Amino acid sequence: MKTQIQNFKMISKTIFFSAIGLLFSMSIEAQNANTQTETKTTTLTKKDSDGEHKTVKKEVTKKVQKIELGEEKSNTINIPTIESPVMVTTTTKITNPDGSTRTVDIDRSSYYESNGNKYKLALDASGYTMTYGDSKPALLRKTSTNSYIFRSENKTAIGYFDTNGDLVVEIYDDKSDKVTVEKYRVLKDK
């Protein structure tokens, strides 16, 4: 009986010290990162015959850098930190005039170039619009397969963004039964 009580005390102590160690390590782990969050809100107001319509674009950029310690030097109190990579994530929320909200992982709004012409791609309530000069804007609507339906005045096609961020539009011509590809190169310096 005495041995069982001693075993129970030893197991209880082991569990208690393990729990304390776990809690201590969790509190240390929670403090090993520098985090910076930046929010940019843009409101776009359009007036037409139906009244005023507001679209709110809220872009949240979060930067997280883990704190890594260097080697401990003898006869010093402080341990130097070493540079570590910064992980940057950006999320864009669009609130449409009707109150509905959608989240965009990567905002592709920018200027693009194709055949010497400069196009502007901008977020709208349902996807993107692409404008060139005073012409009617082309529409891009996201599909479930991570591509876009591209609709302009004279064509309907499939579009997607390649690894460089360029817009690639594949157009089917039913007369020739062929697919042609148009590429809109993203302009890095708008």
pLDDT of 15 higher than 90: no
In whole angstroms, give the CA distance from residue 78 to residue 31: 17
Judged by average pLDDT, the poorest of 3-17, 100-114, 119-133, 155-169 is 3-17
Residues 88 and 127 in one domain: no
Answer yes or no: do 165 and 115 share one domain: yes
Pick from 92, 87, 88: which is nearest to 39 by CA? Answer: 92
The 10s digit of each residue's pLDDT in 25-63 is 655 544 578 888 888 888 878 788 888 888 788 888 888
Greatest alpha-carbon pair distance for the chain in Å reads 94
Task: Decide if 88 is inside a domain.
Answer: yes
143-177 confidence digits (pLDDT tens): 888 889 999 988 899 999 988 889 999 999 888 99
- Asked if the model's pLDDT at residue 187 lies above 80, the reply is yes
Collapsed DSSP state (helix, strand, coil) of residue 16: helix
Domain of 164? 108-187
Q: Is 46 inside any structural domain?
A: yes
Rounded distance between C-alpha atoms, residue 166 and residue 187, angstroms: 9
Domain count, the chain: 2
Distances in whole angstroms, Cα of residue 179 to Cα of each of 11, 37, 151, 169, 170: 72, 44, 16, 10, 6
168 found inside a domain:
yes
Same domain as 173, residue 116: yes
Q: Is residue 88 located within the same domain as residue 147?
A: no
Residues 115/121, Cβ–Cβ less than 8 Å: no
Task: Out of 70, 97, 124, pick the residue that ends a domain.
Answer: 97
Q: Which residues, other chains included, contact 50 with Cβ-Cβ below 8 Å and sequence gap of 6+?
A: none
Question: Residues 112, 183: one domain?
Answer: yes
Query: 124, 107 in Cβ contact below 8 A?
Result: no
Are 86 and 56 contained in the same domain? yes
- Domain membership of residue 70 (yes or no) is yes
Which residues lie below 8 Å from residue 29, measured CB to CB, with a gap of 6+?
A: none
pTM: 0.56
Instruction: Judge if 178 and 115 occupy the same domain.
Output: yes
- Is 103 part of any domain? no
